[in-house]
Amino acid sequence: MREIELDERRKAILASTGHVIIEGGPGCGKTTIALLKAAQCCSNLKPEQRILFLSFSRAAVRQVTDRMKTTLSSAQRAALEVRTFHAFFLNLVRSHGRLLTGTPARFITPEREAIIRADFEGDDNAWKTEKRRLATEESLYVFDTLAPTLAELLERSNDLRNLYSRRYPIIVVDEFQDTSTDQWRVVHALSATSTIICLADPDQRIYDHIEGVDEHRLEVARMALQPTTFDLSSDNHRSPASGILEYANAVLRNTPTEAPPNVRLFGYRYKKPEVMTHLITQKVFSALSRQLNAPPTIAILTRVNTFASRISGNLALEQEQNGETVAPIDHVLHWDPELAAASALVVASILEWPTLSVKDAVVSTLNCIADYYRVKLGLGTAGARSKITTIERSIKAVRNETRPASKTAKNLLELAKTAPPLSGRSVTDWQTARRALKGSAELDELAGKVRLIRMLNATDAVARALSETWNGTTGYAGSVNTVRTALAAEAINVQQTDQVPVHVMTMHKSKGKEFDAVIIVENRHDRPLLNPQPGSKAQDADRRLLRVAITRARHLVVLIRPNGAVPLTPPLRSL
């Protein structure tokens, strides 16, 4: 545990009583001072009490737990319970949801939710109605209905509210500016007898597109909580003396500035940006390795998932650039977890084949493939509906023992007749089943996506779960449901940091993370980094998102943009 020197503002935070709001930008030390304030209160806790630290993402929770190791003693760490909103809400709804419906609460996994949502063909109002019906009539909950359900429970039951306030007398709420109306209702209900510490940066509000996220959340909280407010926005401990934060703030406010040396811009006209990104990533990795004397962490950030996927595919290939060979780069693509989970269920279905007839085996796998495309349909992917229709026709043909038209179904039928032998070693058998995904566009796509369960850090959990379903001789009975359950558990639990140095993701997904270098890539054919209308709400939102993306970097920011793109800041005027 290292000694931390405190200035007068931070001493005032530790000395304050009652509700608190701590404001400040990226790297200003909001989390550290909140942990120190929590540690200060540990000696007053009863044995059954804990300090609750709530954040939005598992990445943010990991950062908090890592920070605790250098900031708090082991006894103090044991007194803190660090959870995501979803994990905390799910636990309480599972425990007490029957108070509202009379039946035990059940949870629909994100992958199943995406499949169900696909039936509503983009009709958001109809899906909202169905989510409410599932919760109130069937006690079935998706992520979106957990917060309003828990808010109703706490608002209606004094006993329940007091129970959890006694358990958690102090609650720290990270990224408070992004709380939705229902999440705020939960915090507000507990604030009656728990002390609330809000950590916020209004300029990192990047989820306005989500229903219930309100730009006036901090003002509402000030009126309701009457907190003491502290401002740490002048501090920067993540990238001090680098100019990165100052540049990001200039982008946010559209003020004239000159980019500092560690913010570099590369333009392109005809070159493919994903190819440029491959070469630049290799050069950044080599340069920072020498500078830091250790392998650096690098994030490649885009506006949309599809472009991130293209970049990932390019990084996996050997390239020739200007007469030099660029080797493939080991990396992780942070894709939609629902798609990774749905593709994993296709592999799981193949592990069941030896326990089924050929017809039933192929129908089961085709159903899983159809569900994968239903997830894509629910995510708004063009062409997913026609894929589903083709696969459903194939399912009907296989059931009727007629020849299916689709190449995917034909390949699966041939493979199922001589299913690859399985050994009972779950990791080896998983790889064997995954290799069966080839021979058609759909199977090739699934083979690529199933590798993304590495992103979920769920491979160990899946292997353990599968080992329990081995029938002792030939196959894995019930492996689809087993893998679904394992992946659902991993979707809630906090994961360990992935050791792969290069991460590819959208800018939205980068929030709450830190890297040695950030490479932001703009594709001329996708949504631009900046809306061209200056002063519009859309451009203001883009500037907030860019500030978040830029400030993920500790040492270096690289921007790869098409020639002629809207400048991020006005040029400095010469005297």
Question: In this structure, how many other beta carbons lie within 10 angstroms of the beta carbon of residue 102?
Answer: 8
Q: Which two tokens stand for residue 385?
A: 């509906």
Measure the N-to-C terminal CA separation of the chain; round to a whole number of Å. 51
| H helix runs in 80-142, sequence order | 85-96, 98-101, 110-118, 124-138
Q: What is the arithmetic mean of pLDDT over 379-392?
A: 86
Burial of 16-44, coded b for 16+ CB within 10 Å and e otherwise, reads beebbbbbbbbbbbbbbbbbbbbbebbee
pLDDT exceeds 60 at position 221: yes
- In angstroms, rounded to a whole number, what is the distance separating the alpha carbons of residues 45 and 355? 54
Q: Which of 103-112, 199-208, 284-293, 565-574 has the lowest mean pLDDT?
A: 565-574
Mean pLDDT (the chain, rounded):
89
Tell me: pLDDT of 92 over 90: yes
Q: Decide if pLDDT at 467 tops 90.
A: no
Reported as a single tens digit per residue, the pLDDT across 30-51 is: 999 999 999 899 989 999 999 9
pLDDT above 90: residue 241:
no
Name the pLDDT band for 562 (thresholds 50, 70, 90). Answer: very high
pLDDT, average across residues 500-510: 92
Q: Rounded CA gap, 312 and 333, in Å?
A: 6
Task: Judge whether residue 58 has pLDDT over 70.
Answer: yes
User: What pLDDT shows up at residue 320?
Assistant: 77
Confidence of residue 118 (pLDDT cuts 50, 70, 90): confident
> Tens digit of pLDDT for each residue in 439-460?
999 999 898 778 766 544 556 7
Among 43-47, 139-143, 330-334, 370-374, name the one with the lowest average pLDDT.
330-334
Instruction: Give residue for tokens 């408070």.
Output: 176
pLDDT-based confidence at residue 529 (cuts at 50, 70, 90):
very high
User: Using DSSP, how many helices (H) and how many strands (E) does the chain show?
Assistant: 24, 16
pLDDT of residue 575: 43
User: How many whole angstroms from its chain centre is CA 313?
Assistant: 20
pLDDT, average across residues 71-75: 90
> From CA 204, how far away is CA 545, in angstroms rounded?
7
Q: Which two tokens stand for residue 259?
A: 């980019």
Find where tokens 């990084």 sit: 315
pLDDT of residue 499: 67
- 5: which 2 tokens? 């020197």
* pLDDT the model gives residue 496: 45
pLDDT digits (tens, 9 = 90+) for 226-236: 999 999 988 88
Of 59 and 529, the structure prediction assigns the larger pLDDT to 529
What pTM does this model have?
0.81
Residues 6+ apart with CB under 8 A from 193: 161, 162, 165, 166, 169
Distance CA 87, CA 491 (A): 9
A 10 A CB-CB count for 81 gives 14
294-334 pLDDT tens trace: 999 999 999 988 899 889 888 988 887 777 788 999 888 88
Q: Which helix (H) or strand (E) holds 503?
A: strand 502-506
3-state helix, strand, coil in the chain (%, to 5): 50, 15, 35
Highest-confidence segment of 327-341, 365-379, 508-522: 508-522
Query: Which of 34-43, 206-215, 494-503 has maximum average pLDDT?
Result: 34-43
Residues 6+ apart with CB under 8 A from 456: 337, 340, 341, 487, 490, 491, 495
